[in-house]
Amino acid sequence: MKNIYLDNAATTPILPEVISLITSSMETVYGNPSSTHQIGRKAKSLVETARKNIAKHFNAASNEIFFTAGGSEADNLILRNAVVNLGVKVIISSKIEHHAVLHTIESLEKEFSIKVLWVDLNEKGGINYAHLEQLLQNENEKVLVSLMYINNEIGNILNVKKVSEMCEANNALFHSDSVQTIGHFKFDITETPIDFFVASAHKFHGPKGVGFAYIKKGFGIAPILHGGEQEKGARAGTENVHSILGMEKALEIAYANLEEEARYIKELKRYFIDILKANFNNIVFNGFSEDENKSSYIILNVRFPKEYSMLLFNLDLKGISVSGGSACQSGSNKGSHVLNTILNEELAKHTSVRFSFNKYNTTEEIDEVVTVLKGLVV
């Protein structure tokens, strides 16, 4: 049985070039970057070169990039730092953020009694920008806006430039969970004055367990991990050297081939949408995931006209890997908090499947998925 992997919003296969680099670096770059001898200095030099090369992709300074164990840690570092160290008293966010943001905000609300405001969403999960503007204008305290660049379940793209300008005009800070963006879309922080964003290497064919936080120059940082002065005092712990180098390589490859690969995946997604519509009645695409201009080209969230409680299980038996929501919530029986927020109670009960693509997927695989679905969705 051939496996068909369509869960790339959860994680992506590591590129062979990245595996090769990680393997060789584990053999040859074994020094601790904090050591002062030449073997340690070699490791330190490579880490700092990786930092500079990663920063260049965003027109950022290398001292604005802080390596972490992934996007969730980076979100925690930024949000907690905003409250503890930067004087934020109000956080404006949405109820369809990743749990790395939502749960952190909930924790900060309990611990520091900060004020949390939720921006209105439309039926597609789109941000009501007029309401966001109103919330910003009505606050006199220090505000942080935290809205994800691309929603990991329904693929909606935030107008980050617009939100950045709104925050700047209202003296608010702006943080965006950009895990689904980095490696798939380019953006320049000199054109989009965002204060904080995060990335995770395994979303763009790099290794798991490594990512970074972008923190605009000038903001002091209070660490959430204590014990050492690594990452300019922002994060204690010996750097994950081989994974950082793997992340650097994966990002380099992603951006070198971005336009060509994005074009291919967009065509694949459009093909899938067309063939689904041709073979199934009354299917709906959640959020803006059908809209090429308003959603990520790697995510398609499909809602079937009724509940098929065993659909994901049966697809897995056929070797087809997909998700019903965020894989980060696997094992939860509460369903998708994103779909539960934007859909009414009846529609939220219908089975939704998130298909997400990479450059290795083919139209032949899409055809096979549709053939299997026709035998399961009756």
Which residues share a beta bridge with 65? Answer: 214
Order of strands, edge to edge, in the sheet holding 143-146? 65-68, 211-215, 196-200, 173-177, 143-146, 90-93, 115-118
Where residue 232 falls (left for φ over 0; alpha for ψ -120 to 50; beta otherwise) is left
**Residue 167 known to be catalytic:** no
DSSP E strand boundaries for the chain: 4-5, 65-68, 90-93, 115-118, 143-146, 173-177, 196-200, 211-215, 284-285, 299-303, 320-321, 352-356
Q: Which of 117, 328, 372, 376 is catalytic?
A: 328
What is the SS3 assignment for 179-242?
CCCECCECCCCCCCCCCEEEEEHHHHCCCCCCEEEEECCCCCCCCCCCCCCCHHHCCCCCCCHH
Looking at the annotation, which residues are catalytic?
328
